[in-house]
Amino acid sequence: MGSVLISEVGPRDGLQNCKAVMPTADKVRWIRAMAAAGVKEIEIGSFVSPKLLPQMADTGEVLAEAVTIPGLTVAVLVPNLKGAEAAIAGGAHKITLPMSVSETHSLRNIRKTHAEVIAEAKVIADRLAELPEGRRPHFEGSLSTAFGCTLEGPVAEAKVLACAEALMAAGCDEVGLADTTGYGDPASVRRLIRAVRGAVGAGALTGVHFHNTRGLGLANVLAAHEEGITTFDSSLGGLGGCPTAPGASGNVVTEDLVFMFEAMGIETGIDLEALMATRAMVAEALPGEELYGFTPRAGLPLGFRGMPAPAPAG
């Protein structure tokens, strides 16, 4: 029944919303454990000001370790050219520039207007074009607050399409849809995916990022998958949210997401038991932080047969 790519964003989106700062060694241990469980893409951090997000102050150190893990695609969020330069220097395989469709949120989140974000995308794309093809990270423009914003309310579809077209024209390799504040529902997910693909092409939209704010995370994932989306962001234990969007609670739980797809016969390549075992190290490194997820609490059903454990790298 095909396969999907689960992109783990816990070390970035998850940790940026935690009060505690996870030690660098624990971050690296967590990332290595997830990769060993079969997670093929991990967003390991973001190059933002440590004054704004002290949880991300060690992204350079974490990146240096993560790129040594065989078979792992290492992703980093960058708000500007300076961040992109740091990601390039560290050998990141993928960089994501966030562009909030809600300009109010954009100003609060990265202190840039739409025009300024597009200008930043252009200079980043020009910088990437100077690199040899083998050293050029994949460049995604993430359309944050694409389904609605707790600061502005509903977001017009026309604004989403205009932002998507502008990012692609600026030189992004693709755009992603992010439901930063949990406004989306399966019907709106279907409509927006079709509309954006109609504007920029199916190949320019392959990934989505949903939050589970109102309990519709997995339903939205399933709707997106049925529209042909193959890459899904999620966070171990549902950690995360957006510090600059009031009420933007946690991400889709990676463990529940993997279980859903594997139960449906759709390959993720992830060993669920090994994945769930990483919760213990996260809980130990983030004392007092609540971890969510139905599958880890209920356990796997008797007779469940997901994908076999991945072969050891080497």
Mean pLDDT of the chain: 92
Average the pLDDT over 8-13 and give the result: 96
Residue 43 clears pLDDT 90, i.e. is over it: yes
- pLDDT at position 308 is 55
Cβ atoms of 171 and 120 closer than 8 Å:
no
Q: How far apart are CA 21 and CA 105, in angstroms?
A: 24
Biggest alpha carbon–alpha carbon distance for the chain: 54
Residue 310 has pLDDT above 60, yes or no: no
Is pLDDT of 307 > 80? no
Residue 242 is among the residues annotated as catalytic for this protein: yes
Q: Strands, DSSP E only, in the chain?
A: 5-8, 41-46, 73-77, 94-100, 138-144, 174-179, 207-210, 231-234
The whole-number pLDDT of residue 103 equals 72
The stretch 285-302 carries a mean pLDDT of: 93
Among 149, 163, 172, 242, the one annotated catalytic: 242
Residues of the chain with pLDDT > 70, as a percent, come to 93
Place of tokens 């949903």: 210
Q: What is the pTM (predicted TM-score) of this model? A: 0.94
For domain 5-298, is the CATH number 3.30.70.590? no
Tokens matching residue 242: 């957006």
Contacts of 295 (CB under 8 A, 6+ apart): 253, 255, 256, 258, 259, 272, 276
pLDDT, residue 306, reads 73
For residue 143, what pLDDT is reported? Answer: 95
* Rounded CA separation 13/15 (Å): 6
Query: What does the pLDDT read at residue 1?
Result: 73
Q: How far apart are CA 204 and CA 173, in angstroms?
A: 7
Averaged pLDDT for residues 135-159: 91
